[in-house]
Amino acid sequence: MAVVEVEQVTRVYQEKGMPPAHALRGVSLQIEQGEFMALAGPSGSGKTTLLNLIGGLDAATSGEVRVGGQALSGLSRKELADLRRDRIGFVFQSYNLVPVLTAAENAGYVLELQGVGSAERRARVKAVFDRIGLAQFLDARPLKMSGGQQQRVAVARAIVSAPAVVLADEPTANLDQATGAALMDLMRELNKERGITFIFSTHDPMVLSRADRVVRLVDGEIVTAPS
Amino acid sequence: MSGPLSLGWRNIWRNRRRTLISMSAIGVGLLLVIFYSGMVGGMIGEAKNQLDDAGMGHVEVFASGYRLRREVGRTMPDVRAQLHLPPGAQVGTRVLARGLATSARGNEPVQVFGVEWAEEAQLSAHLRKLTSGALPAAGDDRGVLIGEPLAERLALKVGSKVRLMVQRADNEMGADLFRVRGVYHSIAPAIGQRQVYVSAASARALIGIEGAAAHQVVVQLEDPAQADAVAGGLRAALGDRVEVLTWAELLPVLKRMEALTDNVVFAMAFFVYLLVGLGVLNTMLMSVLERTREFGVLMALGTRPSRIIQVVLAESFWIATLSVVLGSVLGSLLTWQFSRTGLRVNPAESLQLGGMIISTLVKTRFNPLDILEATAFVYAMALVVGLYPASRITRLQPAEALRRT
């Protein structure tokens, strides 16, 4: 069953006085529940744009994106926010933790948005932190943690609410090879344990080698046939 | 906890120096507004108090037509039984005449006030501030009280004889000899120079009117704000045979001054808050826009636009709260201190009405309502100021916010 459906999606950026920039040109793609897949391609190929469209962070110029069967094009900003909160997790290249929150508060942020009480929130975050080896960092501030630890907190934040899909935009780009590999292994394990669909954008061969499927983009078009 | 208030509180301390500067700017602005408002309110209040002390009523009743020509024959009967006044009101009846006071040194124009001593001493503070002598006893029909400047000009002292000559109700001249029983001090030179006090019975005899007839009834209220209501009641009760006026009608300049100072305080507060508000807006914009990416992350995680606005407004709220605590505490302390000790001003620069120096010692008005109003204004400003950067953020697509560095 497809958890994400992308149908003939085009994204054109138009800025005043500039020629239109086609970030995506008629992209179609289906991603099944539980997939561990990568979007590959050089810089400017449209990987991040495609992830943003799947995550409802941006709006397609034409075409349609569906997440869990829900078409995103007709949703209001509030409805898109609720969809992201309940069904999509994000991992960013540069971790993007909120520096004034502790690691546990960062990880539990989405749960708080969902209205989960503080005790349950803490318990669920702790369970995930135990699982990913961050048990002793619950109350640490992000700036006191290493890049790898921060990225693991970001992964915890993405999965703690059990979303259908986790979108990870070059998650290992700021990590050294060993830390990046460990992070990928961790995500792979979570993918298998929990059945969460992971979609990465990357050009890191180590990440690509761990993916079940790789979709290559060049100049906003898919160059390998999506399966 | 990462609710909007908690997040807002933590965010304001990210750049401690910037927050402290913003807080100080708002706090000092608030302090200035509270103190200035207290000072101006104090001056106006002092002016009213001094007029009260000088024997002016919050409501005054005159014989119909008397004020226009000051004809002593235009009197009114005793209306006191018909006055229904609020508790605490002080009432006095006056018989009035213009004339000359004559001594061996010369003569001076005066206004003769025929009064009941005990009630007039309640109304006119200067009769309680005798520099020599004492109030004439009840039934003393020869006694007169004069002010220091008149005593000096006519070389009079307690025990001296003085001749008062006035125009009588029958248009003849009336004169009698009085003995100075006391000399009073008034902060208003015009009062001390012109006003002489004799008993009401003596004044009636001097100008040739009978019974309990009088020209003026003065009412001082515990709450001057009741003047309009009391005057309305008196007009209804007494009809056309008398003229009832409030202090604002008797001294429109003071009323206009009160309105003017209210406007000045408002304008001053407006500009102070405008300047402070622009400064804080700049700070908030910098603080919020430099975190655009972070707000993009919060939106990506599923934060609704309304919650983003709450987070930004929470920052404004906390800055306003800290500023209000700082500004209102310091402003209140300063205003309270000067409401006790007063602020001495040069008599040449002090407020004058009709030649009367209203005050040389300005005591600020410590009014919690002033502080509440100023505080509410700061909160309103903070919310308005916070809305703009919040709206700038929420107008962005999350992807666009994430691209910002």
Which ipTM did the prediction report? Answer: 0.93
Cβ atoms of residues B373 and B266 within 8 Å: no
Q: Note whether B47 and B80 are same-domain residues.
A: no
Q: Please tell me the distance in Å from A193's CA to the nearest CA on chain B.
A: 23
A81 at the B interface (CB within 8 A)?
yes
**Shortest CB distance from A57 goes to which of B2, B304, B399?**
B399
Select from B189, B224, B245 the last residue of a domain. B245
Residue type, B210: E
Give yes or no for residue B351 having a pLDDT over 60. Answer: no
| Helices and strands, number each (H, E), in chain B | 14, 14
Please tell me whether residues B124 and B170 are part of one structural domain: yes
Q: Is A98 on the interface with B (CB under 8 A)?
A: yes
Report the alpha-carbon distance of residue B59 to residue B219 in Å, rounded: 5
Question: What's the CATH code, domain A2-222?
Answer: 3.40.50.300
Give the chain A residue whose CA is nearest to the CA of B293.
Answer: A96
Are both B110 and B196 inside the same structural domain?
A: yes
Q: What is the pTM of this model?
A: 0.74
Q: What is the pLDDT of residue B355?
A: 46
In percent, the amount of chain A with pLDDT more than 70 equals 99
Chain B segment 310-369 residues within 8 A of A by beta carbon are none
Identity of the residue in B13, B293, B305 whose CB atom sits nearest the CB atom of A78:
B305
B395 interfaces chain A, CB cutoff of 8 Å = no
Q: Do B310 and B328 fall into the same domain?
A: yes
Are residues B216 and B93 located together in one domain of the fold?
yes
Weakest mean pLDDT among A175-189, B56-70, B226-240, B350-364: B350-364
Residue-range definition of the domain harbouring residue B38: 4-52+254-403
- Count Cβ atoms within 10 A of the Cβ of residue B158 and give its class: 0-12 exposed, 13-18 middle, 19 or more buried: middle
Interface A-B: count of C-beta contacts within 8 A: 77
Please tell me whether residues B365 and B287 are part of one structural domain: yes
Mean pLDDT of the region B344-373: 67
pLDDT of residue A225: 53
B403 in A contact zone (CB under 8 Å): no
Q: Do A113 and B303 touch (CB under 8 A)?
A: yes
Distance CA B332, CA B319 (A): 19
Q: Residue A111 has which token pair?
A: 């749960």
Tell me what the mean pLDDT of segment A53-66 comes to. Answer: 96
CA–CA distance, A171 with A180 (Å, rounded to integer):
8
In this structure, what is the dihedral angle of CA atoms A120, A124, A125, A129, given to the nearest 10 degrees?
A: 150
Q: Do B399 and A85 touch (CB under 8 A)?
A: no
Domain count of the fold of chain B = 2
Which of 37-56 (A) contact B at CB < 8 A?
Answer: 49, 52, 55-56
Spatial separation of the C-alpha atoms in residues A101 and A110, rounded to whole Å:
13
pLDDT at res. B10: 93
pLDDT of residue A194: 87
pLDDT at A107 over 90: yes
What is the rounded CA–CA span in Å between residue A70 and residue A67? 5
CB spacing of B293 vs A157 below 8 angstroms: no
